[in-house]
Structure 1
Amino acid sequence: MTMQRRIGRSGGREKRALGVQAILEWAFRIEKAQLELPERRDDEEAGFGFGLEYVLLQRAALGCKIDGGRHKIGSSTHPDAEVVAAAVAGLPDSRGGIRMAIRVAELARAGLTPDWMPGAVPRCVPVETKRNQHGERSTTVVVGTERVLHRGKWRSVEVLACPVTWYPHPGQIEGARRGYEDWWRALNWVRDGLVAGGMLREIEVTVVLPKLQPWLPRRCQ
């Protein structure tokens, strides 16, 4: 995780300016923040599941800033990291909900970006190959017969074909890149929520985001 410049001060200390991906990796990978997902509520129950919305409501009700959100007594996790985890847990269904929250946290904990299959180009390849003493050969199948005249005699010969497929399949590449874009939109939502909430005491959230479509030529981004 690359630290960015330091700006501002909080309680006499300088704030670290970080992009949202760096913040997530710091919270989940370095500070070991845990993703506490909201419990299912009955339809008749009002209110939000615990997430950034809940923390913001509590802050508004008190008219003050809640230091660190849901910081647990005795916890070694930084309060800012717990606020970040709460923001991720609050991802709405329109941004992937609980499933995306888990994915965002797991990727951040591993320090990874979703695999969007960089450089992948579909190639036409045999469905199956066989190897013998003469090397590797494509498997063929009989697709019909034909009558041919050979040395004055008619003979029946098999018509062979090599079944082929595209690998990687275009749908596989499209799915991987669609998943990356969904992850990017989730990060964008978390970033906007952290900025709007203003509850991080020692971190300044910058506008920096990963590229939305890194597979496009630079001039198209």
Structure 2
Amino acid sequence: MTLQRPIGRAGGRAIQRALGVQAALEWAFRVEQAQLELPLPPDVTEEGLGFGLEYVLLQRAVLGCKIDGGQHKIGGYTHEDAEVIAATVAGIPDSHGGKRMAIRVAELARAGLTPDWMPGAVPRCVPTIIKQNQHGTHAGTIVVGIERIRVRGVGSRATWKNIDILACPVTFSPHPQQIEAARRGYDDWWQALSWVRDGLIAGGMLREVEVTGAMPKARPWEGSR
């Protein structure tokens, strides 16, 4: 997706460009380089003393986000619609992930990415021990017990012999919990985008961008089965 920076005007009136919420986020954070201004927690002072300074520095280290200022990017103008979009993202409520989700939404938008929901991933049973020799690669085994058996000897005599009971340890890769976590993360991101979309549409504060109802596909893994 190519996002062009200018938004045109005709006869003094702004020409609104219709964008889905994901495209609008990418325009704001990737093209306009809007800054995510997260509110300070109650125990952090504006001067950033003590723990507050650690928090401010940590948040500034993530995507270059500024949480205690209102400054635009250096050397350029940030479109006011982009600032409105960034402010809306910063307001994602705790019920949708709060500050952590706001940073994730901005991070993905700035990179032009969608969360990896591990498309096509199917848990497969694989050995945990792999060995190689002149005959190739094969699964390794471990001794899980010893069995005493009676074997026929020379003539009519019989003897007892200890033999190892071998087993091949296996695991599932990728693990079902990995796939579940990835898809849960995608769903949480999708719900946050839905909240941002609804907020931008209801707020009516955008002047030159019109956010449409278009959304990334919900639970795309269900349609890929």
After superposition, residues 90-105 of structure 1 pair within 5 angstroms as 90-105=91-106
Partners of 1:151 and 1:76 lie apart in 2 by 91
In structure 1, the residue matched to 2:179 is 173
Shift, 1:29, TM fit: 0.6
C-alpha distance in 2 between matches for 1:20 and 1:97: 18
Count, aligned residues: 190
CA contact under 8 A between 1:145 and 1:156: conserved in structure 2? yes
Counterpart position of 2:51: none
Q: Which amino acid aligns with 1:97?
A: G
- Equivalent residue letter for 1:89: A
C-alpha distance in 2 between matches for 1:210 and 1:100: 17
Structure with max Cα Rg: 2
Aligned residue among 196, 208, 215 for 2:214: 208
Classify the secondary structure of the residue corresponding to 2:164.
strand
Q: Are residues 10 and 133 of structure 1, via their aligned partners in 2, closer, same or farther at CA, if it must alter by over 3 Å?
A: farther
For the 8 Å contact 1:184–1:210, the answer to whether it is kept is: yes
* Residue 188 (structure 2) aligned to one of 157, 162, 182: 182
Aligned-pair CA distance for 1:212: 1.2
- Partner SS, residue 137 of structure 1: strand
Pairing 1:122-133 to 2, within 5 Å after superposition: 122-133=123-134
Q: Distance in 2 between matches of 1:182 and 1:38?
A: 21
**2:140 alignment counterpart:** 139
Please give the alpha-carbon distance, in whole angstroms, between the structure 1 residues aligned to 2:222 and 2:175.
19
Work out whether residues 10 and 202 of structure 1, in 8 Å CA contact, stay in contact via their aligned partners in 2.
Answer: no
Q: Does the CA contact (< 8 Å) of 2:194 and 2:215 recur in 1?
A: yes
Q: Note the 1:1-221 alignment, pairs <5 A.
A: 1=1, 12-41=13-42, 76-152=77-153, 153-217=159-223
Q: CA deviation at 1:159?
A: 0.3
The Cα of 1:139 is off from its aligned counterpart by: 1.9
Instruction: Give secondary structure in 1 for the equivalent of 2:15.
Output: strand
- Tell whether the 8 Å contact from 1:71 to 1:82 is kept in structure 2 after alignment: no
Distance 1:72 1:31 in 2: 10
Flag the 1:188–1:2 CA change in 2: closer, same or farther, 3 A: farther
- Over the aligned positions, Cα root-mean-square deviation in angstroms equals 2.6
Cα offsets for 1:40-96 (capped at 9, x unmatched): 236xxxxxxxxxxxxxxxxxxxxxxxxxxx786985111111110000000110010
